[in-house]
Chain A
Amino acid sequence: EAQVTQNPRYLITVTGKKLTVTCSQNMNHEYMSWYRQDPGLGLRQIYYSMNVEVTDKGDVPEGYKVSRKEKRNFPLILESPSPNQTSLYFCASSTLGGGSYNEQFFGPGTRLTVL
């Protein structure tokens, strides 16, 4: 089954404790992206990757790191989480082609609480 998986789905942690949220897709997509969703603010892009070893900042990259060592995986790293990073996080992937963007497939989301 074609899908994007995220782990963990729910996480409660404390300020300053490094964490990684994994994202994996089995569709051989070039493009992957991380978003956070907050009430009243909608989805905001954190980082995106156009292909292996190619990453770039979205709208709200501060406090986050990513890497794209393999095509299927795009982990999101919070080196020192803070309470303002409490949010619902989505990973997504899509193909790229013809200079345009195609349907993004989203993972089920990770609900993160930083105390």
Chain B
Amino acid sequence: RKEVEQDPGPFNVPEGATVAFNCTYSNSASQSFFWYRQDCRKEPKLLMSVYSSGNEDGRFTAQLNRASQYISLLIRDSKLSDSATYLCVVNWGGSGNTGKLIFGQGTTLQVKP
């Protein structure tokens, strides 16, 4: 099993659609979780951190399910500008701050007019 796994897609959706991505992680000791956005081989940029209680930022909602070891990202009312690759990031966990961060392969979203 990969340490962090995402469906690479692509997800092709019409404008206004709601789309959800999942990301599974293998290490139950992981403590920090993030979603990053990457446009066309440019540098990744933080979209949102994922908190235990779930969190929302405008049209974006992130959730963490520790029991099943996955995080999710929900995008409502998709815009053309949401087209990008979404990267799931998990710290490796274990005792202390190990510093090792694992990126998922990324999920590509294409929003069509």
Judging by beta carbons under 8 Å apart, are B87 and A42 in contact?
yes
Judging by beta carbons under 8 Å apart, are B91 and A107 in contact?
no
**Chain A interface residue number, banded:** 20 to 34
Q: Which residues of A contact B43 (CB under 8 A)?
A: 90, 106-109
Judging by beta carbons under 8 Å apart, are A58 and B100 in contact?
yes
A40 to B32, CA, bound (A): 24
Is the contact region of chain A dominated by helix, strand, or loop, or is it mixed?
Answer: strand
Q: What's the tally of chain B residues with a CB closer than 8 Å to chain A?
A: 24
Given contacts A43-B103, A48-B100, A50-B99, contact A101 B44 (CB under 8 A): no
State whether the Cβ of B41 lies closer than 8 Å to any Cβ in chain A.
Answer: yes
A108 to B43, CA, bound (A): 5
State whether the Cβ of A56 lies closer than 8 Å to any Cβ in chain B.
Answer: yes
State whether the Cβ of B49 lies closer than 8 Å to any Cβ in chain A.
Answer: yes
State whether the Cβ of B45 lies closer than 8 Å to any Cβ in chain A.
Answer: yes
Judging by beta carbons under 8 Å apart, are B46 and A43 in contact?
no
Given contacts A42-B106, A100-B32, contact A90 B101 (CB under 8 A): no
Judging by beta carbons under 8 Å apart, are B105 and A45 in contact?
no
Given contacts A100-B32, A108-B43, A109-B41, contact A59 B102 (CB under 8 A): yes
How far apart are B43's CB and chain A's nearest CB, in angstroms? 4
* Chain A residue nearest to B106 in the complex (CB): A42
Q: How would residues 92 to 103 of chain A score, 1 for a CB under 8 Å from any chain B CB and 0 otherwise? A: 000010011101
A96 to B96, CA, bound (A): 12
State whether the Cβ of A35 lies closer than 8 Å to any Cβ in chain B.
Answer: yes
Given contacts A50-B97, A109-B41, contact A103 B102 (CB under 8 A): no
State whether the Cβ of B1 lies closer than 8 Å to any Cβ in chain A.
Answer: no
A100 to B99, CA, bound (A): 9
- Which residues of chain A (40-67) have a CB below 8 Å from chain B? 40-45, 48-50, 56, 58-59
Which B residues contact A (CB, under 8 angstroms)? 31-32, 34, 36, 41-46, 49, 87, 89, 91, 97-106
Which A residues contact B (CB, under 8 angstroms)? 31, 33, 35, 37, 40-45, 48-50, 56, 58-59, 88, 90, 96, 99-101, 103-104, 106-109
